[in-house]
């Protein structure tokens, strides 16, 4: 017997304030874009991909930094070339987070409008 996998929002009516608030919370505290995607907005996939890319870039910078620290036995001096990768990663992740914030607030505003 196959088991049906269901989303947690199946019990909530579409465009409900509670569902929109939950999606906004997932966007802000979980993975940016995941709440948008759960709400049915395809733009959430782009937001999630941007957030994951930014996270990978930042972690790669940290790994390069720690590897240089271990290799030399002291903290790297000056401006390491991989620092730009980390700064760009934080910027990309922050951009995805702000975009998912705007999408979540738009969903919440639309839910409030539909319920009035």
Q: How many domains does the chain have?
A: 1
Whether 108 maps to a domain, the answer reads yes
**Interatomic CA distance for residues 38 and 92, integer angstroms:** 22
Whether 10 maps to a domain, the answer reads no
Whether 12 maps to a domain, the answer reads no
Whether 79 maps to a domain, the answer reads yes
Q: Is residue 7 pLDDT above 70, yes or no?
A: no
**Interatomic CA distance for residues 2 and 107, integer angstroms:** 33
Residue pLDDT, tens place only, 64-108: 988 888 988 888 787 778 889 999 999 999 999 999 999 999 999
**By residue range, what is the domain housing residue 90?**
29-114
């Amino acid at each position: 017997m196959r088991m049906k996998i269901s989303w947690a929002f199946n019990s909530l009516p579409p465009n409900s304030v509670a569902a929109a608030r939950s999606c906004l919370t997932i966007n802000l505290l979980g993975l940016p874009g995941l709440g948008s995607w759960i709400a049915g907005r395809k733009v959430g996939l782009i937001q999630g991909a941007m957030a994951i890319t930014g996270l990978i870039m930042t972690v790669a910078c940290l790994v390069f930094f720690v590897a240089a620290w271990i290799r030399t036995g002291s903290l790297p001096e000056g401006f390491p070339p991989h620092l730009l990768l980390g700064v760009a990663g934080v910027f990309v992740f922050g951009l995805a987070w702000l975009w998912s914030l705007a999408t979540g607030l738009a969903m919440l505003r639309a839910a409030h409008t539909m319920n009035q």
